[in-house]
């Protein structure tokens, strides 16, 4: 069964219309499906379902990456603005994955699943999902639900988008970095890397986790080292990012920078 289905088949002339809409970001009815682009994690245990959903979301302008296991989802969700969470993974129960995400983050979660009973929905919401959508579904409905949960999340996100660490300030909403009030020009990936480290300044972030969350499926060991080196140069000191051999990286302490 296809995860996406048209909910407008009552009109013969529209019964074959793609539920994902036209390539320009409009539905077959001429309505905008989404006015904002987000980084979306498609956490989906079914490979074919994931492929369809990733393709359609990218067609509509979203930055999308995927995870096909519960463990992979727990390792990668922090890099996203929104998680579309299947509840049937090959390794972990989806409800436990949902609880795991929610115990660490307030990131918006929409459970997208074949589990269709009222009890399933209640358990999903109690586990921490912000919304619950049963497969198969109309793509326009999915977009509408994504927009709704993101609207509700905006006040919370706005309150926590700036990370300050000594003279370093990182504004996630504007994607701007400043040091002692001086703007630092960074690339998109450099920003994502620095923000991830600064969000947990006391923690060592494993190299593999950094690579997966910042670069998704397209990375190499040299990619991380190159971006770390570039950030050190732009911030004016190698002490800003410390290499922990055999593990990963952490933000330098203020004592190490003084």
Percent of the chain with pLDDT over 90: 48
CB atoms < 10 A from the CB of 58, how many?
Answer: 12
Cα–Cα distance for residue pair 139/18, rounded to 1 Å: 9
Indicate the burial class of 48 (C-beta count within 10 angstroms; 0-12, 13-18, 19 or more): exposed
Reported as type and span, the H/E element at residue 65 is strand 63-67
Residues 6+ apart with CB under 8 A from 21: 27, 28, 33, 60, 139, 140
Q: What is the pLDDT of residues 178-207, one digit of tens each?
A: 999 999 999 888 888 999 899 888 788 888
Cα–Cα distance for residue pair 142/214, rounded to 1 Å: 25
- What domains, with CATH codes, occur in the chain? 12-159 (3.40.50.2300), 162-257 (1.10.10.10)
Q: What is the pLDDT of residues 127-178, one digit of tens each?
A: 999 999 999 999 999 999 999 988 887 655 555 578 889 999 998 878 899 9
Q: What are phi and psi of 68, to 5 degrees?
A: -110, 5
Q: What is the pLDDT of residues 55-97, one digit of tens each?
A: 999 999 999 999 999 999 998 888 788 999 999 999 999 999 9
Q: How confident is the model at residue 5 (pLDDT cuts 50, 70, 90)?
A: low
Say whether 87 sits in a helix, a strand or coil.
coil
pLDDT at 78: 80
Cα–Cα distance for residue pair 258/255, rounded to 1 Å: 5
pLDDT at 59: 93
Q: What is the mean pLDDT of residues 104-119?
A: 89
Three-class HEC string of 145-166: HHHHHHHHHHHHHHHCCEEEEC
Decide: 70 and 96 in contact? Cβ < 8 Å: yes
On the CB side of 153, CA atoms within 13 Å amount to 22
Q: How confident is the model at residue 4 (pLDDT cuts 50, 70, 90)?
A: low
Decide: 204 and 244 in contact? Cβ < 8 Å: yes
Question: What's the full length of the chain, in residues?
Answer: 258
Percent of the chain with pLDDT over 70: 81
CB atoms < 10 A from the CB of 197, how many?
Answer: 26
Decide: 32 and 26 in contact? Cβ < 8 Å: yes
Write b or e for each residue in 23-46: b if 16 or more Cβ atoms lie within 10 A of its Cβ, otherwise e. eeeebbeeeebbeeebebbbbbbb
Q: What is the mean pLDDT of residues 13-34?
A: 36
């Amino acid at each position: 069964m296809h995860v996406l289905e048209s909910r407008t088949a009552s009109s013969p002339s529209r019964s074959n219309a793609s539920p994902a809409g036209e390539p320009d970001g409009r539905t077959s009815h001429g309505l905008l499906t989404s006015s904002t682009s987000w980084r979306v994690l498609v956490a989906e245990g079914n490979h074919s379902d994931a492929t369809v959903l990733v393709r359609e979301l990218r067609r509509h302008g979203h930055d999308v990456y995927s995870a096909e296991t519960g463990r992979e989802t727990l390792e990668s969700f922090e890099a996203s603005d929104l998680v579309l969470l299947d509840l049937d993974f090959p390794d972990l129960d989806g409800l436990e994955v949902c609880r795991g995400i929610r115990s660490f983050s307030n990131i918006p979660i929409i459970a997208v699943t074949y589990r269709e009973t009222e009890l399933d929905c209640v358990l999903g919401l109690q586990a921490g999902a912000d919304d619950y959508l049963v497969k198969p579904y109309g793509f326009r409905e999915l977009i509408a639900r994504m927009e709704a949960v993101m609207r509700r999340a905006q006040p919370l996100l706005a309150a926590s988008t700036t990370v300050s660490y000594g003279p370093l300030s990182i504004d996630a909403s504007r994607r701007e970095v400043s040091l002692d009030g001086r703007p630092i020009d960074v690339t998109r990936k450099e920003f994502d890397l620095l923000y991830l480290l600064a969000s947990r300044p006391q923690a060592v972030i494993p190299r593999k986790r950094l690579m997966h969350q910042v670069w998704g499926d397209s990375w190499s060991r040299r990619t991380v080292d190159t971006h770390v080196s570039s950030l050190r140069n732009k911030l004016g000191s190698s002490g800003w990012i410390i290499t922990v051999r055999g593990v990963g990286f952490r933000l330098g302490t203020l004592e190490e920078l003084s």
